[in-house]
Amino acid sequence: MNDYDVIDSYLTGRMTGTDRVAFEASLRTDPALADDVAFYVMARQTAKVQANEQRRTEWDARRRAAAAPVQPLHRLGQWAYPLAAAACLVLALGFGWYFLNQPSATELADAYITQNFTTLSVTMDGRTDSLQTGIRQYNEGNLAGADATFGTLLQRDAANADALKMAGIVSLRRGNYDQAIAQFHRLSQRTDLYANPGLFYEAVARLKRNQPLDKPTAKKLLTTVISSNLDGKDEAGKLLERL
Amino acid sequence: MRLSFKKLSDTDLIDGILAGDPDRRLCENQLYDRYAYFVREGTRKHRLSEDDCASAYSDTILSVIDHILTGRFEGRSNLKTYLYQIFTNKCVDFIRKKTTNRSSVHDALSIDDALLQLPDSARSVVQQLITASDMERLYAQLQTLGEKCRSMILAWGEGYSDDEIARQLGYNTAAVAKTSRLRCLERLRDSYR
């Protein structure tokens, strides 16, 4: 058993009885033993300090990793809470104003329909074919009559793109949105037309119907209209900006 | 006792710290994390910098761990209240001193407990020897000790038993760990003198 072993036994309380008494007697008379005891005590305390330093460093890293550095609030002093409350109020009002003033998808569609579908142009050549009859009925506000006329025309000539477009517009004005979307979609599938507004009209009809997936679908359609340079490209750009 | 990662109660944390490694370290870290928001409160309430508050908070956790290990924490108040009181005192100390004790070895030393075990006649002699010693140099020498020796001495300083040190550092038995620890202590003394 070396000196540190003995000191260890004594200071941890494992040494008892006569051994303990003998150790204490040696300590009084043996300067070298006293020196070893002093070193033992110092070494343990120094180790504790260094271990604590290590733990502090670990915890500091842990704290910094857990959260971004906190800005001390005391820099703002007594104004911290009133300023924070004021900032929240301004933000709330700002967001409220912004969202309340943003037109809805339906309102955008309504604006387009009002501007473009209230009156349809009639050719001035005096023809009295079914297409012109339907358009006149439409312009006179006889939407049911126009619907029947375009329907009859399509039964006779399913490939009549003008009739299909007009039928879609009538369906949209009459509130038959599902039918309007289907008709505009059929029109958009035609690849033999010089100008085909089918995709753009379908987007407008979806915005008007405004079911859960209609708005994102309409956005995709409008994007396609722009990227494919289709009929309605300019209007599509304006609508997309406001959606 | 093996701990899961569920939220531990105060009693679980205290039991875990008393159980020794590996639970002790996990519980110490959980204790630190649980009340780390005191740091933010300290910056607001005591108008100390975040670093000062974090230092006071770390000191607080170390004190509480020490109190748990030595039985000074008797559980008369809940852990949060106890910890908050110590943290507040440490923040006030910081305000008074306007300095941290990070770089000071002497401030953090509390050798009274060990000296109290010595008979009166020997205590003053040992105390004089300690006072005459160069603690800063001993601190520096400990840092230059080999990694395994240093780890062993630090674990001993933290109060880990030889059995726990053996498990931590991969020794076969506590007796082997103890022999190695005492050899490391001799090496430290030789490099110090």
Instruction: Identify from B154, B188, B190 which residue to disrupt to test chain A contact, counting A C-beta atoms within 10 A and taking the largest count.
Output: B154
Task: State residue B107's pLDDT score.
Answer: 45
- The secondary structure of chain B in percent helix, strand, coil, rounded to multiples of 5, reads 70, 0, 30
CB contact under 8 A, A5 and B182: yes
Select the residue of A37, A46, A55 nearest B62 (Cβ to Cβ): A55
Cβ separation of B40 and A70 shorter than 8 Å?
yes
Chain A 160-189, CB below 8 Å of chain B: which residues?
none
The alpha carbon torsion through A128, A129, A132, A136 (nearest 10 deg) reads 60
User: Nearest CA of chain A to the CA of B27: how many Å?
Assistant: 13
pLDDT of residue A69: 53
Give the three-class secondary structure for B1: coil
Residue of B31, B37, B33, B38 lying closest to B67 (CA atoms): B31
Tell me if ipTM is over 0.90: no
Instruction: Return the residue of A nearest to B186 by Cα.
Output: A4
A33 touches chain B (CB under 8 A): no
Chain A / chain B CB contacts < 8 angstroms: 137
Tell me which amino acid residue B187 is.
Answer: R
Rounded to 10 deg, the angle between the B23-34 and B10-19 helix axes is 140
* Cα distances (angstroms) measured from residue A189 to each of A119, A183, A199: 26, 10, 8
Beta-carbon contacts of residue B29 (< 8 Å; ≥ 6 apart): A59, A62
CB B17, CB B28: distance < 8 Å = yes
Q: Using H for helix, E for strand and C for coil, what is the string for A102-142? A: CCCHHHHHHHHHHHHHCCCCCCCCCCCCHHHHHHHHHHCCC
E strands present in B49-140: none
Contacts of A81 in chain B (CB under 8 A): none
A68 contacts chain B (CB < 8 A): no
Q: Is any Cβ of chain B less than 8 angstroms from the Cβ of A29?
A: no
pLDDT of residue A2: 67
Please tell me the predicted confidence (pLDDT) of residue A47.
92
pLDDT in tens, B90-133: 888 888 776 555 444 444 445 666 777 788 878 888 888 888 88
Residue range B140-176, pLDDT digits in tens: 999 998 888 999 999 998 888 898 888 888 888 999 9
DSSP reduced 3-state for A190: coil
Contact B109 A49 (CB under 8 A): yes
Residue B10: pLDDT over 90: no
Asked if residues A43 and B189 have their Cβ atoms less than 8 Å apart, the reply is: yes
Six-digit token pair at B80? 């949060």
CA distance A118 to A131: 17
Structure tokens belonging to residue A212: 């859960």
Per-residue confidence of chain A (243 residues) as pLDDT tens digits? 568 889 989 888 888 889 888 988 888 888 889 899 999 999 998 999 899 998 899 898 888 887 655 555 555 566 777 788 888 788 888 766 665 566 788 888 888 888 888 888 776 555 568 888 889 888 888 888 999 999 998 988 888 999 999 999 999 998 888 899 999 999 998 888 888 999 999 999 999 888 777 888 898 899 989 988 888 888 898 888 888
Q: CB neighbours of A43 closer than 8 A, spacing ≥ 6?
A: B138, B142, B153, B185, B188, B189
